[in-house]
Structure 1
Amino acid sequence: MMVLPAAAALQIGLVAANPLLVRMLGLWSDHRRASPIAGQIHRVHHVYVAGILLVFAVLSLTFPHDLASGTGIGRFLSIVMAVFWGARFAVQRLYYDPAYLRTHRLGDVFFSSVFAVLFAI
């Protein structure tokens, strides 16, 4: 159960890192080349994902006993979070451009490690 506050800290850290990554990757500038609605959808999607990460963090901090109990809604939410982070790890390792990840190896290893730890928790 002591690992759940650590999971919350990692998830909050990911949300905090997002504005930096957006700037570093030039995501918003790419929207200028797309249609206005495509940019709007992407921004909304980005905010919703960050919101989900914050919800996961709040759940980890406020309901650690329920999440660790292995019963009822706690079990369900634990499985949802494990599937979410396992899928996120798989996307990082199997979908993203390997050439880009090689050029940004430190970030790739860091984020892959965070996703793997969150999946394991």
Structure 2
Amino acid sequence: MSKFEENVMKLLGEINSRLDKMDEKFAGIDSRFDKMDEKFVEMNDRFEKLETDLEEIKGENQFIKRAVLDNNELIKTVSEDQKSTYELLGEHDVSIRKFRRKFSLIEEHEL
């Protein structure tokens, strides 16, 4: 083999070595992309679950909101009834005091 052929073979060997290293690097890059794809699939699954959970929470929130509004109406009704009851009790209290005074006046006159 001539010197020229030796140099060519040596260069081809170096080129092959570099190509092998590049192949290894590309394999590493491919592996990283595969891992990233897996992560994206996992993230997509998690987001879909979050969306499902969020929709459930929205439904429950509407139910709770409706229940709170119904309770507020009930509380307003009870409050109004209580005001009426206090008014009635107040009127009865005044009537009872009036009768007591009349009764005490009658007792004083009888004595």
Structures share fold, TM-score greater than 0.5: no
Return the TM-score normalized by structure 1: 0.25
Larger radius of gyration: 2
Return the TM-score normalized by structure 2: 0.27
